[in-house]
Amino acid sequence: MTAETNPTEGTQPLIAAAWMMGAVAAFTLMAVAGREVSLELDTFELLAYRSAIGIVIIGAIIVLRRDWQAASFDHLGLHLTRNLIHFAAQNFWFFAIFTIPLAQVFALEFTAPLWVLVLSPFFLGERLTRTRGIAAAAGFAGALMVAQPGAAPITPGLISAALCAVGFALTYIVTKRLTNVTSTLAILWWMVVMQTALGFIAAGIDGDIALPSSQALPWLGILGITGLGAHFCIARALRVAPATLVMPFDFLRLPVVAVVGMVLYDEPLGLAVILGAALILGGNYFNVRAEAVRPRS
């Protein structure tokens, strides 16, 4: 039994796999929904409306559970730091979704765990071991293959996808610090509240905030539900199986979204993207397996 597994449930790999398939489906739907509203809303407006839907959902959970502590003002500075970084990273992610093939976005996004390996020694005091260094090097080599600097133009979309990975890595690091002092529900509550405010402030700088049309509303609903649903599915999977078993399932997002991109948007899937993605996923998996057998003190 591992620390990630609920001691009353034991390891249930098939149930964990089912929950992770739900997470993969949610992340893929989120990308499609973001692409569908891209001609009508900019990234600031999209995030503002999506987060507003999240306020309704998380607020209802707080009321039903009577967990008023989740909405307390404790650790507000740390919440604000996390959400400023996460808000920027999500804007980069959605801009990339709007402008480059989905497979490229997801391949570069998967460098986020490798950025965590590189940045953790500076922010969390963790050691950059030889294994972690090899994993990071493989991942960054894969990212270069996907971006193809010199062979293909470096577009704003590619830059945004790379920056979103760094932003998500920093978000994970700050989230790790927050989980030591507050609850998951509190983290989610302040995420949707702060990012709703940030979204509307940024969207209103030009004095024009677009209202979603009746055609866009269902897609915004999907964005709001899938954003929270994906993380709920991952949390449920981690209750019944260790992280070393659960997280490799997340790698299925890349081939799934590549097929979706080809079918729905006629996006090509070049050999460089396939090989680069394989290096990125291989680096992640190598690190996951190494951590699984690492002795714990």
- Give the DSSP per-residue string, 210-245: PPPPTTHHHHHHHHHHHHHHHHHHHHHHHHHS-HHH
- Nearest Cα to Cα of residue 161 among 113, 106, 114: 106
The residues near 244 (Cβ < 8 Å, ≥ 6 apart) are: 2, 288, 289, 291, 292
As a whole number of angstroms, the distance between CA 243 and CA 8 comes to 17
Domain count, the chain: 1
Q: What are phi and psi of 149, to 5 degrees?
A: -65, 135
Q: Residue 47 falls within a domain, yes or no?
A: yes
Q: Residue 287 falls within a domain, yes or no?
A: yes
CB-CB contact of 23 with 230 (8 Å): yes
Range of the domain at 137: 13-293
147 Rama sector, left if φ>0, alpha if ψ -120 to 50, beta otherwise = alpha
Q: Residue 87 falls within a domain, yes or no?
A: yes
Q: Residue 98 falls within a domain, yes or no?
A: yes
As a whole number of angstroms, the distance between CA 250 and CA 288 comes to 12
The residue type found at 12 is: Q
Per-residue pLDDT tens, the chain, 297 aa: give them: 334 444 444 567 788 888 888 988 999 999 999 999 988 999 999 999 999 999 999 999 999 999 999 999 999 999 999 999 999 999 999 999 999 888 888 888 888 877 887 888 887 777 777 877 887 788 778 877 877 765 567 899 999 999 999 998 898 888 888 888 888 899 999 999 999 999 999 999 988 899 999 999 999 999 999 988 887 888 788 777 776 567 667 777 878 888 899 899 998 877 888 888 888 888 877 777 776 666 655
Q: Residue 3 falls within a domain, yes or no?
A: no
Q: Residue 255 falls within a domain, yes or no?
A: yes
- Nearest Cα to Cα of residue 218 among 21, 79, 96, 49: 49
As a whole number of angstroms, the distance between CA 123 and CA 126 comes to 8
Q: Residue 5 falls within a domain, yes or no?
A: no
Q: Residue 8 falls within a domain, yes or no?
A: no
The residues near 9 (Cβ < 8 Å, ≥ 6 apart) are: 239, 240
